[in-house]
Structure 1
Amino acid sequence: MDGYLGVIVIVVVVALLAAGGLFLLFRPGGKAAPPVEPPKSPQTPTLPEQRPAPSAEEGEGATTTLPPPAPPAVVVPEIEVPPPSAGRMVRLRSRLARSQSALGRGLLELLSRDRLDDDVWDEIEESLITADVGVAPTRAMVEELRTKVKVLGSRTPAEVRELLREQLLTQINPDLDRTLHVQKHGERPAVVLVVGVNGTGKTTTTGKLARSLVGDGKKVVLGAADTFRAAATEQLQTWGDRVGADVVRGPEGGDPASVAFDATAKGIEEKVDVVIIDTAGRLHTKTGLMDELGKVKRVIEKKATVDEVLLVLDATTGQNGMRQAQVFAEVVNITGIALTKLDGTAKGGIVISVQRELGVPVKLAGLGEGPDDLAPFDPEVFVDAILGDENAK
């Protein structure tokens, strides 16, 4: 009996355990465990192109999944056709007269007085020196004027004007060769080296000169050898783009002589008429200036001849400009002067003093800020502008 009861107890326990397992398996909401799958290698999901999150200005609703932007359109600047250089200074005479005629009127008024005593001559001398004519040229002019006034005796306004005109022209020397030497040598282009301290308008003058030569029908290459000023390179690039002139440039702070060499080589390769090299003007010691400009000139001459070395001077700087001119003249063989801002000062006498000091002619005059305001210097137009146009010859 006891054995029978033991069997019954075992059967009951097994039944209860089996019922509990079925309950757990099939309880309400219960699900069978998902089959275990082998792990897959990770893959990068394919998503539309992402753009940076919108800024506060764009607003919270801006989408971040936009199609890729279209490439920016390349804007090709329109090539301009500049006017020729001939007659520019005549066209700009009125602008020159507005700034210079005060000197002429003052001198004419003094010379027209009934009595020319020592005090009046002192005033005439002072007026000329103040206009940056220079001490030596002023004394020569005054001495010559005094002699001729004594010979004439009485003086009409026309005679006074002619006396003064003659003396100013004599000091400016209209017989100097002011030709800009920009003619090709067979297959080789002419090379113009532009020098001067920064702030005188050197790079602008380089660009305006290129524009003037293009207006005369010449093909030009520009060399941006002022590598120490990124702004100078960009400025020259803008000038070149406007008239279709290629610009050779180098890395910022690079070797200026290398840029000058490459520009000359490109000019030869493209059979252009003129290569114009804009040089650095940042150096204040004569030794450093000599080393750099000397190297630039030497490497150019391995390819071509340097036909012009133009010194750019700011006419408003007066005697400071003269000191700069003397340093450059000692360093490099200057062939001509480009005077900028000549329309903005009554001290036009610097034309006389700088020519006398350096022994080279003023060849170009900057008479404004416009792109075509650089003109070949004409002594007679200049003197007539000083004395007033109403009686100009």
Structure 2
Amino acid sequence: MSDQTPEKKGWFSRLKEGLTRSSSKLGEGITGIFTKRKLDDAALEELEELLISGDLGVATAARITAEIAKTRFDKEVSPEEIRAALAEQIALILEPVARPLEIDPARKPHVVLVVGVNGSGKTTTIGKLATHFRAEGESVMLAAGDTFRAAAIEQLQIWGERTGCPVVAKETGADAAGLAFDALKRAKEEATDLLLIDTAGRLHNKADLMAELDKVVRVLKKQDESAPHDILLVLDATTGQNALQQVATFKELTKVTGLVLTKLDGSARGGILVALAEKFALPVHAIGVGESAQDLRPFEAKAFARALTGAEG
């Protein structure tokens, strides 16, 4: 279980690399504030502002600075000490939500509905999840339920070829609920372990999207009352604070059970994960820090907190 296995080490260095933009923003900011300086009210205020600008959210920033002040107020502190204290506080917030997606072997199939706005990386996330679970020895089926976008259907078919997973797809404009129904029927017949269903993400018409997602869930329940077993919301980290609004909106539309955060490498806004954990306490099943299938992985709270703050160790 050591952190030093080549696999873990490789992932941690990729994580650090992927979070470079976020960590350099926080790390350099901390160095700027705490070089040869006491932790006084002015320094605390600057630290709080830095954390807010790093997308950690107002409530989180206030709580973290208050915790750090408890033991260090009016003392001379080094930037390293503050980075380590910050990493510790962030890890405490993230630990309860760092939960990998688990497939129930008693279900054939375990049904996962994947939701999110267009452009958040939904279809790619499905492909990467399929890669991960295939490598774990699970049989996986994909359903191209974003029937409005020909590109999404094609993209999922490409992932199907890459991963050796069957893809259930219909022509553009087909009924998404009908497609989900057919996919579940086939996955049951073939005793598939995992069924991943893509969905549309046109948020400009919330009422339509809600009706469509409702219908998909309803038809799945006709065949399996407990389905879908997970509803994953995929969020693009580069949208920063907008991700909080997306979670709130999708929670209105459907029963979101967990989050996946993509494109952390393309953004200085890695702190948004902390704000999401603090505000919604939803499980964060995986994070993406790069293009390859290996770059979407379950995350470990302490490693993420260290990488985000630039703390050593």
TM-based fold match above 0.5: yes
* CA distance in 2: counterparts of 1:314 and 1:154, whole angstroms: 39
Q: Cα RMSD (Å) of the superposition?
A: 2.0
Are 1:180 and 2:180 matched, yes or no?
no
Q: Which of the numbers 159, 175, 190 marks the counterpart of 1:255?
A: 175
Aligned identity (percent) is 42
* CA distance in 1: counterparts of 2:126 and 2:252, whole angstroms: 22
Q: Which residue of 1 aligns with 2:60?
A: 137
Q: Which residue of 2 aligns with 1:320?
A: 242
3-state secondary structure, aligned to 2:222? coil
Residues 114 and 233 of structure 2 are in contact (CA less than 8 Å); yes or no, is this contact kept in structure 1? yes
Deviations, residues 33-52 of structure 1 (Å, cap 9, x unaligned):
xxxxxxxxxxxxxxxxxxxx
Q: 1:334 to 1:89 in 2, by over 3 A?
A: farther
Q: If you compute each CA radius of gyration, which structure gives the higher value, 1 or 2?
A: 1
Worse overlay, 288-297 or 162-171: 162-171
Residues 329 and 358 of structure 1 are in contact (CA less than 8 Å); yes or no, is this contact kept in structure 2? no
Q: Which residue of 2 aligns with 1:265?
A: 185
TM-score in terms of structure 1 length: 0.72
3-state secondary structure, aligned to 2:201? coil
Q: Name the structure where helix makes up a greater proportion of residues.
A: 2
* CA distance in 1: counterparts of 2:203 and 2:81, whole angstroms: 49
Q: Which residue of 2 aligns with 1:346?
A: 268
Aligned length: 303
Worse overlay, 153-162 or 140-149: 153-162
Q: Which residue of 1 aligns with 2:290?
A: 368
Residues 182 and 192 of structure 1 are in contact (CA less than 8 Å); yes or no, is this contact kept in structure 2? no
Q: 1:105 to 1:158 in 2, by over 3 A?
A: closer
TM-score in terms of structure 2 length: 0.90
Q: Which residue of 1 aligns with 2:278?
A: 356
Residues 23 and 307 of structure 2 are in contact (CA less than 8 Å); yes or no, is this contact kept in structure 1? yes
Q: 1:112 to 1:379 in 2, by over 3 A?
A: farther
3-state secondary structure, aligned to 2:59? helix
Q: Which of the numbers 167, 184, 193 marks the counterpart of 2:113?
A: 193
1:321 Cα offset (Å): 2.2
Q: Which structure 1 segments of 5+ residues have no match? A: 1-85
Residues 27 and 83 of structure 2 are in contact (CA less than 8 Å); yes or no, is this contact kept in structure 1? no
Q: How does 1:275-314 map to 2 (within 5 A)?
A: 275-304=195-224, 305-314=227-236
Q: Which residue of 2 aligns with 1:124?
A: 47
Deviations, residues 155-211 of structure 1 (Å, cap 9, x unaligned):
456543432221111232x0336131322325x210111000101111111111111
AA aligned to 1:357 is K
Q: 1:115 to 1:237 in 2, by over 3 A?
A: same
Deviations, residues 123-164 of structure 1 (Å, cap 9, x unaligned):
21111111111111111111111222128x344565434322
Deviations, residues 255-314 of structure 1 (Å, cap 9, x unaligned):
101111111111111111100000000242332222111111111122232121110111
1:119 Cα offset (Å): 2.8
Residues 300 and 306 of structure 1 are in contact (CA less than 8 Å); yes or no, is this contact kept in structure 2? yes
Q: Which residue of 1 aligns with 2:134?
A: 214
Q: 1:293 to 1:94 in 2, by over 3 A?
A: same
AA aligned to 2:306 is D
Residues 137 and 171 of structure 1 are in contact (CA less than 8 Å); yes or no, is this contact kept in structure 2? no
AA aligned to 1:118 is D
Work out which structure has the larger RCO, using CA pairs closer than 8 Å and 6 or more positions apart in sequence.
2
AA aligned to 2:118 is N
Q: 1:271 to 1:107 in 2, by over 3 A?
A: same
Q: Which residue of 1 aligns with 2:14?
A: 92
1:91 Cα offset (Å): 5.4
* CA distance in 1: counterparts of 2:291 and 2:24, whole angstroms: 22
Q: Which residue of 1 aligns with 2:310?
A: 388
Worse overlay, 193-202 or 92-101: 92-101
Residues 108 and 161 of structure 1 are in contact (CA less than 8 Å); yes or no, is this contact kept in structure 2? yes
Residues 89 and 376 of structure 1 are in contact (CA less than 8 Å); yes or no, is this contact kept in structure 2? no
Residues 147 and 176 of structure 2 are in contact (CA less than 8 Å); yes or no, is this contact kept in structure 1? yes
Q: Which structure 2 segments of 5+ residues have no match? A: 1-6
Q: Which residue of 2 aligns with 1:114?
A: 37
Q: 1:171 to 1:103 in 2, by over 3 A?
A: farther
